Structure 1
Amino acid sequence: MFNDKQNQVLAYELDSSRIKSRSKGNINLSYLEAFDVLETANRIFGYGNWSYSITSLEEVSQETNPNQNIVLCYKAVIVVTVHDMQHAKQVQREDVGFGTGIAKTLADAHEGAAKEAVTDAIKRSFRSFGNQFGNSLYDKSRNQNQPQIQQPQQYSQPSQQQIQQTPSQQQHPQQSHNPYDYSSLYNLGLTILEQGQNLIVMGDDMYNKRDSIKACGFRFDTPSKTWWKPIDQQQVA
């Protein structure tokens, strides 16, 4: 279902800098923020390669607190669908989430509770894909005083205006980890990731694109079947 690079990233330990915490009663809860989970899904699975649908969304309870605010609780059931790069295969995960809306008006309470329930269900559905989506947070023996693990950084594709350099700029080669140096690889549908002190190339059909990859200074490591180069390597014009 997933390619080797996706499996490798999914297996990384959770970066402790991504973990947030909040208190609920006498309990300190650790969690990942919703935007972080969605960005991680885009980074690992790719834009357009995953989606979610709402199976059910219903009100569970309604009451008024001592401050005369309306308190609503909603339950949502969400199905997350993840496709492979060719959209030939897919895997689905389903889970339930709860949300509470507290407001002076009934409409605002409904809105807050519904949104929170859907967000909670999405996060819980992604949790089954492992550490990068917070599954390890449910293991109390892990992530305790855990050192921060450096995660691969995906470079965004530069715009056409950024790629077009002036002659004076071209006379001064930049470091190879500048994403603008790899416009030829981006145009082939490849991605550049930073992993430790190296850059690696990810994408499909890299064998037929090997000449372009070599031209950007990358070398092929046979045991890991990975195209790589040191970050501090200078580009040779």
Structure 2
Amino acid sequence: MTDSAKRPSTSDEVTPATDQGSAHMGRGLNPVQLDYLTRPLDERRVKFANGQSHVEAWDVRRWLNRIFGFGGWSYATDMVLVREIEITPQAPNGRSRWTVIYRAKCRLEVRDPQGNPLAFFEEFAAGDSANQPALGDAHDNAMKTAESQALKRCAVNLGDQFGLSLYANGTTQAVVQRTLDHAPAPAPSA
């Protein structure tokens, strides 16, 4: 038994399967993965900005690692520069400032422990960086914003742990709860 199997579980920790072993159900998710994907979102993971609730991109990556493993998911992003705007200085010796906008297309793929694809999701997002003194920083910030938003939009398709419930008026209560392809078998009729 490993140390992690001996410790009590907290809401922030993935508990290893003990009685189910490595048996997989349905489409390659084991019972522990399915349990975590259908739990309510811990409200401590929810952040607020501009009147909107969201889960941060680093937290999405953290939970992808916890649920699918370090090699159990990947993503690829295609980036397009939408606009680069130079804001000319008003003062004679002033420096230009920059606003940059990018659009990102992200593809998130999750895999079973054998490396077989389970599902992929593609989403788009735009990101900007406004009024920056350095052109390089403006590009960097806008690209990271677009990529993070697109990844989060992909991950939300995996359910409440990735912010799906937040689309239901900001609730952290589970909106998925279960899936029919993982439903218990009906009782035999007499």
Displacement of 1:65: 5.8
What corresponds to 2:110 in structure 1? Answer: 82
Residue 70 of structure 1 is matched in structure 2 by 98
The match for 2:119 is: 91
Shift of 1:76: 0.3
CA contact (8 A) 2:97 2:135 kept: no
The residue correspondences of 1:39-58 to structure 2 (distance < 5 A) are 39-54=62-77, 56-58=78-80
Query: Which of 33, 41, 53 matches 1:30?
Result: 53
Q: Matched residues in 1 for 2:101 and 2:38: separation?
A: 35
- How much has 1:88 moved relative to structure 2? 2.9
Distance 1:88 1:121, change over 3 A: same
TM-score (norm 2): 0.68
| Structure 1: 5+ residue stretches without partners | 147-237
Please tell me whether Structure 1 or Structure 2 has the larger radius of gyration of its CA atoms.
Answer: 1
SS at match of 1:100: strand
* Distance in 2, Cα, partners of 1:89 & 1:37: 19
Q: CA RMSD in A?
A: 2.1
- Which string of whole-angstrom CA distances, capped at 9 and with x for unpartnered residues, describes residues 69-99 of structure 1? 3111100001011001122343111111211
**5+ long unaligned stretches in structure 2:** 1-26, 90-95, 174-190
CA contact (8 A) 2:109 2:117 kept: no
Matched pairs, number: 140
Give the 4+ runs in structure 1 shifted more than 4 A: 64-68
Question: How many Å separate the matches in 1 of 2:48 and 2:152?
Answer: 15
Q: What is the identity percentage for the equivalent residue pairs of Structure 1 and Structure 2?
A: 34
Give the one of 115, 118, 133 matched to 2:147: 118
